């Protein structure tokens, strides 16, 4: 019995050493990456999770976009991996987060914020999968602490999975998106004057499913040199709002400068009502509505339900983009970062 106790004590001491060495190395690596990224600041990183998991707790995190127009701040984030699966860390967010968009700052409330990753057990540590989810998120203007949410949803989710070496599949969605009350009321009022009214209170679903081809895998080397995006297969980008529906499908090839070449087909139902609503809201000149409707009619098709759908080609060519026959100007550059 005495020998067994000494063996168990020795194993415990060994595990202590492994835990402190692993969490220390992880903390140093994360801190080094933060130190070389001016858009990210963290007040403190501490170890957590002993003895059953490897974990890090970051406090007072701030992430700012390169132009400074967007800033996210959080009081703390915990990243923790089980001791038997250190390559599968899980993330947990805590209340008190804020999001600044331009000059307006919002409080980001949610029921839960979770995420995680799965990396290969190899020296390259290639990313196999990652996910992030917010349950019942809402943005509340910080200058109106007791006021209504500007935007809210039932859930927001994003998943990234390695589909093949150098290719990742991205899935995401927003369920039951409630618009700002002033905008929603105006849209409902406009919709009542249309031939087929009845927009619901919320947008039921906004979703995307696409595949991104990169010139290098997402592994630890990507921290020093981000892979370049070489192709984008859009399986589906869609929106459902009552009887209104928007969808996009297509493929874009990306050159070394990030310029897309290809075609994306946009499909919408009840396009005439949407055009009328856009004119009522001032998105387009009301005087142009008849001529636009006449031009778009050439792209209209009968859908399976006998309704009037519109298929529009969004074309990217020679650094420019056009929507059907309408030139839209320079195409945005798609660069992986």
Mean pLDDT of 95-104: 91
- For position 164, what pLDDT does the model report? 85
Confidence of residue 292 (pLDDT cuts 50, 70, 90): confident
Is the pLDDT at 180 greater than 80? The verdict is no
Residue 108 has pLDDT above 90, yes or no: yes
The reported pLDDT for the residue numbered 265 is 92
How much is the pLDDT for 195? Answer: 47
Residue 150 is predicted with a pLDDT of: 79
In this predicted structure, the answer to whether residue 204 has a pLDDT above a threshold of 50 is: yes
Are 81 and 87 contacting, i.e. CB atoms less than 8 angstroms apart? yes
Q: What is the DSSP letter of 291?
A: H
Residue 236 has pLDDT above 90, yes or no: yes
pLDDT value of position 182: 66
Of the listed ranges 12-21, 89-98, 116-125, 210-219, the least confidently predicted one is 12-21
Share of the chain above pLDDT 90, in %: 37
- pLDDT value at 184 more than 80: no
In the predicted structure, residue 27 carries a pLDDT above the cut 70: yes
Residue 7 is predicted with a pLDDT of: 62
Distances from the Cα of 326 to the Cαs of 180, 192, 259, 320, 322, in angstroms?
31, 30, 19, 11, 5
Cα 258 to Cα 101: distance, rounded to the nearest angstrom: 26
In the predicted structure, residue 12 carries a pLDDT above the cut 60? no
Mean pLDDT score, 51-79: 90
Note whether 156 and 178 are within 8 A (CB).
no
* Percent of the chain topping pLDDT 70: 82
Per-residue pLDDT of 34-57, as tens digits, reads 888 888 899 999 988 878 888 899
Domain ranges of the chain: 33-118+137-150, 153-337
Cis peptide before 51 (omega within 30 of 0): yes
The predicted structure's pLDDT at residue 135: 97
Residue 308 pLDDT > 50: yes
Q: Give the per-residue pLDDT at 196.
A: 45
Cα(281)–Cα(184) distance, integer angstroms: 12
- Per-residue pLDDT averaged across 3-24, rounded? 65
Mean pLDDT calculated for residue range 97-116: 93
**152, 137 in Cβ contact below 8 A?**
yes
Average pLDDT over residues 246-253: 94
- State pTM to two decimals: 0.83
């Amino acid at each position: 019995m005495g020998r067994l106790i000494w063996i168990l004590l020795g194993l415990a001491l060994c595990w202590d050493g492994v835990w402190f060495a692993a969490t220390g190395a992880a903390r140093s690596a994360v801190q080094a990456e933060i130190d070389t990224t001016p858009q990210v600041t963290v007040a403190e990183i501490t170890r957590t999770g002993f003895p059953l998991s490897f974990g890090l707790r970051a406090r007072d995190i701030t992430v700012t976009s390169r132009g400074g127009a967007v800033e996210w701040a959080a009081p703390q984030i915990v990243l923790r991996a089980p001791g038997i699966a250190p390559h599968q860390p899980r993330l947990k967010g805590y209340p008190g987060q804020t999001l600044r968009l331009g000059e307006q700052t919002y409080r980001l409330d949610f029921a839960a914020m979770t995420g995680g990753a799965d990396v290969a057990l190899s020296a390259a540590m290639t990313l196999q999968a990652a996910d992030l989810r917010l349950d019942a998120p809402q943005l509340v203007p910080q200058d109106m602490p007791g006021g209504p949410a500007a935007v809210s949803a039932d859930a927001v989710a994003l998943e990234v999975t390695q589909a093949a070496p150098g290719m990742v599949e991205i899935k995401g969605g927003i369920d039951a998106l409630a618009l700002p009350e002033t905008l929603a009321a105006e849209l409902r009022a406009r919709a009542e004057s249309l031939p087929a009214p009845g927009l619901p209170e919320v947008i039921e679903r906004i979703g995307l499913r696409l595949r991104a081809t990169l010139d290098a895998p997402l592994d630890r080397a990507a921290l020093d040199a981000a892979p370049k995006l070489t192709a984008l297969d859009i399986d589906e980008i869609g929106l459902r709002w009552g009887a209104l529906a928007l969808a996009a499908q297509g493929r874009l090839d990306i050159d070394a400068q990030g310029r897309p070449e290809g075609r994306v087909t946009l499909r919408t139902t009840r396009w005439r009502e949407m055009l009328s609503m856009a004119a009522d809201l001032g998105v387009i000149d009301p005087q142009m509505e008849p001529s636009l409707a006449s031009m778009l009619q050439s792209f209209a098709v009968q859908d399976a339900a006998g309704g009037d759908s519109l298929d529009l080609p969004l074309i990217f060519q020679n650094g420019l983009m056009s929507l059907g026959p309408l030139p839209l100007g320079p195409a945005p550059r798609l660069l992986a970062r």
